Structure 1
């Protein structure tokens, strides 16, 4: 029997946390860039929107350029890995540049600054489409523990997020009706699959599938933004559609999800004998009525004692964990990290969590 080989713990941490950077960049750009540019810098939203659109035109050139450069790269790290590694630094610099436009510059110079920084940032992010991908791994502290990264979903209430209606809303009933309409079966299908015939097809058994042309829209982030509107942070109904055959979203339709992944992701999935990220991580039963606790921890106010300790612990993790991972002397670095961690008085925070767990268990 062939002996199994296992990844080192730092390989698992590296692969498992890799996509955090991409999500941080996406969150900043999608949520704050227009607010920052218009409210803080004072730029015109119409001009900014035009610059963003023009910037996208460069993607057609830069994607080909980076793809060619990656194919020609020969190094000890392989072809894509050097670009992926140094691309992180490029993303950090250009993301900072997007949100650090000097107020001393004239308006024309400020527009130019944003356009250059934003275009370069998109070029760095485009590396994913050149094969620089990662896959999460189900890391646990020791063998035999079932990870809780993904559990069987039920009707639990996530109180950590929600929607609010401003006092200036002129049609509160209409706003609530809009949210309610988003949960209608046909709207769910439109949100996550699109329009039948244009965005997906149906076979003789009623199963949704994509043609090669439709697949391109799902594999290219820019095309995906043009053709779909998921209302990502609004309520949604998960599971299967009313037909009882298809899942509510393409990503949960096993055969379609796998074949629409980049080649390197497919290769990784096949090596592990899985077809999607959920199988890769593992799907376990919910550990109890108290789950998930993140709905409580993320809702803690930063003004509360537990919230302040949580923020301090997060700051310590952000500072020390990268140093621990890269340290030549792991034991020393770990001791320093734990000393800083313990100085936050985490026992107070965990005592509050325990009280919340007991409260939920009692119902």
Structure 2
């Protein structure tokens, strides 16, 4: 191409030359330009203004604009010029450099076509539907007019072929965030996450671009048959980080450790001397463990099971039995409660035969006369 040719007489311009022109008039289908310091004037057809389809020239240029233009035809007193070809040459050179360096490019989405989107990058770029996002998109109408970053996945100037991907940019950013998140997390952190997937063995939680696992044993202080008993997909929960393995990209989490345990403030719920009902959960040689509330069991020593001598707890108790127990001692720090079935029964009997306050001063025989007759 011949450079700086504005002072060349009209007859010496030829196809392929580059000239500088100033927009003097805009019509519906063409743009008029003057070429300073030259006898030549020129016209830019609407088709030569942009690599993309445009409705009117005013969408691309305004009167007074100074443009670099390529001569595509020389007539007797007029040059036919192209802005599109100059822009395309510059664009292809810049895109080639970005492509070779693996850098992203930014462009405005101009149109929706069959199979994807059209992007203006100085030349026409195409984004296949599968390369728009890292997830399925049903409606692309909201993308028109947006400027987004893209990775070039195919570039062929000769075939005028430019294939782009926004999906690659999204995935690259997520990978970067994931790495940063892994490096910032440490055991003991309390974070907020969203339940993404539930399996038989636990729950996967998104804690900011990376998934962590809550094993079923870390979901609740109580026994859990299936994780779905505790959480649902899309639940937002607070979890504690138990461990982080950046190399294997594994994070262990706990929901249980962010919720009050059943033993918390247990001494306020059960005080020594009170009688409560519980369920026999386990029987061992030295006694029976009785559940007072879910997650809290107390021990009834074999000596505290019955008023009569027994060889084993199973002589009088079975798993699942509902029993009255007296609280003997509460050790909240060590999570231990001592219980007595024997003393609970004695206390109940004392309550049943307690002399009414209004009966004081009467003879015992008068109060329990009917009972004595029954015994006789």
Question: Normalization by structure 2: what TM-score?
Answer: 0.15
Q: TM-score, normalised by structure 1?
A: 0.16
More helix by share: 1
Structure number with the higher strand fraction is 2
Larger Rg: 2
